[in-house]
Amino acid sequence: MNRPLRLATVALTASAALLLTACGSDDKSKDNDKIAGAEQEGGKKSTSPSASPSEDADRPKIKLPSDLNMTFEEPSTGDTVKKAVLADNAERMRAVNAAITGTDPKGEAVGYYNTGRALEASATWVETFKKADLSITGEVRYYDRRVTLKDKKTASLSFCADEGKGYTKDKKSGKTNKTPVTKKSYVSYNTQLVKNDAGTWQTSQIVSTRGAAQCQP
């Protein structure tokens, strides 16, 4: 498994904006601007996933710190299965950030919403921040979220992320490492998801490209 080199470097040096949406990436490129997972569908902006996640008694509750805001645009789709995929993907993104910020120190939600290589990469990502004694703060917006259903238990999802207002934060000093907005602040994601026996759509692979042309404003 290749590690997200650019993100790891960012975390260890605390000299650039955090790639919030790339948390738990599976890097398949030698290009440091590409991290590692795929699809899209525009619509209204919402601070919540477009549909409630599947009803599982063991589903962990995710709470983020007050200084971190993650916004997910709601695609205009009437398909209940696609809505479930979108909802569980949103929870997956929130889960990784909850582990990083310390609101889920054991990473229970990370293990719930990830599987396979995505789970391995997510654990590595969280550990990178822990070793660097960094957290994350600010805002990140997810948009152009599009789902393709391959069969009853597999799907692909692509989306973009605006990380222009997302930053790393030193845990000891509380200092926010702010950086200017550039084309690198916009990230394209391609993910693969599988539905487990509990009915949860788990992310199994995730690939991201920083500075992607299709995500630029």
pLDDT at 54: 54
pLDDT at 31: 33
pLDDT at 212: 96
Amino acid at 192: Q
Give mean pLDDT, residues 145-172: 96
Per the model's pLDDT, the better-predicted residue between 139 and 58 turns out to be 139
Q: Average model confidence (pLDDT) for the chain?
A: 80
List pLDDT tens digits, range 186-210.
Answer: 999 999 999 999 999 999 999 999 9
Pure H helices in 68-155: 80-101, 108-113, 116-132
Band of the pLDDT at 74, cuts 50, 70, 90? confident
Q: What are the CA-CA distances from residue 133 to residues 49, 62, 71, 109, 191 (Å)?
A: 30, 21, 25, 21, 28
205 backbone dihedrals φ, ψ, rounded to 5°: -145, 145
CA angle 195, 99, 193 (to 5 degrees): 15
Q: Is the pLDDT of residue 179 over 50?
A: yes
List pLDDT tens digits, range 26-45.
Answer: 433 333 222 222 222 233 33
Give the separation between CA 25 and CA 114, rounded to whole angstroms: 11
Give mean pLDDT, residues 81-103: 96
pLDDT at 56: 61
Give mean pLDDT, residues 55-82: 89
Per the model's pLDDT, the better-predicted residue between 58 and 173 turns out to be 173
Give mean pLDDT, residues 90-114: 96
Entry field: residues in the chain = 217
Per the model's pLDDT, the better-predicted residue between 24 and 60 turns out to be 60
Global pTM? 0.77
